[in-house]
Amino acid sequence: MTGPDHARSFGAAAGAYARARPGYPDDAVDFLVAGARRVLDLGAGTGKFTEALVRRGHEVVAVEPSTRMLAELTARLDVEAHEGTAEATGLPDGSVDAVVVAQAWHWVDPVRAVPEVARVLRPGGTLGLVWNVRDESVPWVAQVWALAQRGEEHEMRASAATVGPPFGAGETFTTRFEHVTDRAGILDLVASRSYVIVLPEDERAGLLAEVGRLLDGRFAAGEPVRVPYLTHCTRFTLD
């Protein structure tokens, strides 16, 4: 099960997270924030979705609780950014057209976060939830993450999220893309998972060594590695 230690763990691996985590495809961005001018990227992390919003021409404010994650974001992107949470964003009432939570809704308390998101949205605004999920129908991907997860599973899909009033029913969209990296990038992907970050150091090192050996048997040194993803999106409109 996820918990506070997992939720707070990402700052310790902010560099690996920034290097290795995939971005988001343009069609997912367009579905989630179509027609929005000013967008709140809530739980922005190191700015993976922030970057995608900027690329599509949106005005962005990024809010993130981790100081170290936020430092990675502001080092790369020139956007308004500050510390805050889904339950306390620090933004004025009715100040954004859309809110997006990428890879993070399962960490929040929806009882407090839903009214806070509704407060900062303008009338008719939207809340978008998005998760990149590895396509483990590809055998080598399934092998790597079966080893890395050790039976743990903390991936969440937007369809499983709880939102409710004052938002209407969710509209869903799923798209595919490939994240191109290398052997080191795969190790960083594994190392930046919350359930790996919180392991004792010797267990963490041993796990990464095992993953490295599996990769060595599959990919040549310096060979690009294409990781297939499904991007699951759900968009809720403020009633």
Domain that holds residue 153: 4-237
Per-residue pLDDT, 217? 82
Burial class (CB in 10 A: 0-12, 13-18, 19+), 122: middle
Please write the tens of the pLDDT for every residue from 180-199: 988 888 888 888 777 788 88
pLDDT tens, residue by residue, 78-134? 999 999 999 999 999 999 999 999 998 988 999 999 999 999 999 999 999 999 998
Q: What is the CATH number of the domain that holds 131?
A: 3.40.50.150
- With a cut of 80, say whether residue 18 has pLDDT above it: no
The least confident of 1-5, 56-60, 118-122, 200-204 is 1-5
Residue (of 176, 206, 211, 175) closest to 190 by Cα position: 211
Q: Domains in the chain: how many in total?
A: 1
Whole-structure pTM value: 0.82
pLDDT tens digits, 41-77: 999 999 999 999 999 999 999 999 999 999 999 999 9
* pLDDT tens track for 74-89: 999 999 999 999 999 9
